[in-house]
C-alpha cells in the first residue's frame, strides 16, 4: 500500500448531521458523532502512525482475545494492526454504509504463521441519524474448520465515570481478570465503576444499556456474539499504558461485545456474521 494511503481515514456523514470516521489501519472506527456529540473515546495519547493499535474508538479483536498459549500472535490478534482495503460507500435516505476487507494474503508472514488459515473478513459500518452498526463477516476460505475469537472493543466517551452505569448484566457469570480469572455472579442491577474493572460476562443478553448520567444513554444491541467485556483500567493500569493519559480513565468505559469465552468454530467454505448496533435517544 502506498505510504499516503496508510494513514487514510474514511469520513462518513449522514443527512441528519451524524458522522463517523474510520481509519484504514485496523478498520478502526475512531469517531461517531450524533447531534454534535462525540460518543466514542479516543485517547489523546493514541498512536496513529500504524505502529500500534489505536487506543480508542472501536478496535476489532480477531482471531484471538488477549494472548493464547501456542498461538504466536500479538495480544487481541492482527485485525486491529493491519491495513484494510476500503470497498466503498452505499447511501440511501436512511443510512450510509461503508465496507472494508482484510484477507490473509494482506498480512505479514509472521502474522500468517501465527494463525495459518485462509480467510476473508468483511467489515460493514452503517450510520443512521441516531445509530452506528458495525458488523464483521468472517469467511473461511480453507477446506478445514478453523477457530477464532472476535470482539468489538468499543471505547465509549464518558463525561464522568462516577456517573456511568451498565444495565443488563444482572445474574450473569463473569470471569474476573482482575482476580486472576476467578468466576463470580453479577448481583447488581446497574454495574458501576470505582476501581479497575476487567470482566468477561459470559452469555450476556443481546440488549444492554450504558447510562452516562441524565438523558445521556447509549443502547447496545449485539447479534451473533455471545459475551460482553467491561473494562476500565483505573489509576495504576492507566499510568502503565504509554498511549493512554494518566487521568483519562475518568472519561471512558469499554463495553465490548464479542465471542471470547469459547472459540467460534467455522467450517471450511462457511461464513459467520456478528456485530452490534449502538444507538442514542
Ligand atoms: C480488554 C481486556 O478487552 O482489553 C483487558 O479484557 C485489556 O485485559 C484491554 O487490558 C486492553 O488491551 P490492549 O491490548 O488494547 O492494551
For 6-48, the pLDDT digits (tens) are 789 999 999 999 999 999 999 999 999 999 999 999 999 999 9
Output the pLDDT for position 125.
98
The CATH number assigned to the domain holding 124 equals 2.70.98.10
Distance CA(272)–CA(266), nearest Å, equals 7
- pLDDT for 94 beyond 80: yes
Distance CA(55)–CA(172), nearest Å, equals 28
For residues 89 and 98, is the Cβ–Cβ distance under 8 A? yes
- pLDDT for 281 beyond 90: no
Q: What's the mean pLDDT in 250-279?
A: 98
Cell of 246: 494518566
Distance CA(127)–CA(152), nearest Å, equals 16
**Could you tell me how many residues make up the chain?**
281
198 lines ligand 1 (CB under 6 A): yes
% helix, strand, coil for the chain, step of 5: 10, 50, 40
* Total of domains in the chain: 1
Residue of 148, 171, 158 lying closest to 225 (CA atoms): 148
- Does the annotation count 108 as an active-site position? no
Cell of 164: 456511568
Residue 60 belongs to a domain: yes
Distance CA(113)–CA(24), nearest Å, equals 23
- The DSSP line for 182-246 is EEEE---SEE--SS-EEEEETT--SEEEEE-STT-EEEEEEES--EEEEEE-HHHHHHH-TTS-T
Q: Which residue has the higher pLDDT, 186 or 281?
A: 186
- pLDDT for 266 beyond 70: yes
Domain extent, residue 262, equals 3-160+204-280
Output the pLDDT for position 4.
66
pLDDT above 90 covers a percentage of the chain that reads 96
Q: Which residues share a beta bridge with 271? A: 139
Residue 183 belongs to a domain: no
pLDDT above 70 covers a percentage of the chain that reads 99
Distance CA(130)–CA(111), nearest Å, equals 37
For the four alpha carbons of 126, 131, 132 and 137, in that order, the dihedral sign comes to negative
Q: What are the φ and ψ backbone dihedral angles of 80, each rounded to 5 degrees? A: -80, -10
- pLDDT for 5 beyond 80: no
- pLDDT for 3 beyond 70: no
76 lines ligand 1 (CB under 6 A): yes
39 assigned ligand-binding residue? no
Quick one: pLDDT band at residue 2, thresholds 50, 70, 90?
low
- Does the annotation count 14 as an active-site position? no
Residue 269 belongs to a domain: yes
Residue 256 belongs to a domain: yes
Residue 165 belongs to a domain: no
Residue 188 belongs to a domain: no
Identify the active-site residue in 14, 21, 76, 153. 153
Nearest Cα residue to atom 8 of ligand 1: 198
For 136-182, the pLDDT digits (tens) are 999 999 999 999 999 999 999 999 999 999 999 999 999 999 999 99
- pLDDT for 244 beyond 90: yes
Residue 10 belongs to a domain: yes
Q: Which of 46, 52, 53, 153 to mutate to test the pocket of ligand 1 (most atoms within 8 A of CB)?
A: 153
Amino acid at each position: 500500500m502506498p505510504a499516503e494511503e496508510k494513514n487514510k481515514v474514511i469520513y462518513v456523514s449522514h443527512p441528519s448531521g451524524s458522522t463517523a470516521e474510520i481509519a484504514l489501519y485496523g478498520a478502526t472506527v475512531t469517531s461517531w458523532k450524533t447531534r454534535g456529540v462525540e460518543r466514542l473515546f479516543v485517547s489523546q495519547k493514541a498512536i496513529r502512525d500504524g505502529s500500534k493499535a489505536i487506543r480508542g474508538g472501536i478496535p476489532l479483536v480477531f482471531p484471538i482475545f488477549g494472548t493464547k498459549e501456542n498461538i504466536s500472535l500479538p495480544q487481541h490478534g492482527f485485525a486491529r494492526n493491519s491495513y484494510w482495503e476500503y470497498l466503498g460507500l452505499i447511501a440511501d435516505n436512511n443510512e450510509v454504509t461503508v465496507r472494508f476487507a482484510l484477507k490473509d494474503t494482506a498480512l505479514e508472514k509472521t502474522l500468517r504463521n501465527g494463525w495459518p488459515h485462509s480467510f476473508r473478513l468483511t467489515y460493514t459500518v452503517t450510520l443512521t441519524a441516531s445509530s452506528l452498526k458495525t458488523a464483521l463477516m468472517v469467511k473461511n476460505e480453507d477446506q478445514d474448520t478453523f477457530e477464532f475469537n472476535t470482539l468489538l472493543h468499543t471505547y465509549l466517551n464518558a463525561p464522568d465515570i462516577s456517573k456511568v452505569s451498565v444495565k443488563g448484566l444482572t445474574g450473569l457469570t463473569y470471569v474476573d481478570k482482575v482476580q486472576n480469572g476467578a468466576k463470580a455472579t453479577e448481583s447488581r442491577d446497574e454495574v458501576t465503576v470505582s476501581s479497575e474493572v476487567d470482566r468477561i460476562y459470559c452469555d450476556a443478553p443481546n440488549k444492554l444499556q450504558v447510562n452516562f448520567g441524565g438523558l445521556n444513554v447509549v443502547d447496545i444491541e449485539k447479534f451473533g456474539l455471545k459475551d460482553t467485556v467491561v473494562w476500565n483500567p483505573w489509576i495504576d493500569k492507566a499510568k502503565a499504558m504509554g498511549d493512554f493519559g494518566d487521568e483519562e480513565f475518568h472519561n471512558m468505559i469499554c463495553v465490548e461485545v464479542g465471542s471470547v469465552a469459547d472459540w467460534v468454530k467455522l467450517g471450511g467454505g462457511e461464513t459467520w456474521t456478528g456485530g452490534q448496533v449502538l444507538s442514542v435517544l
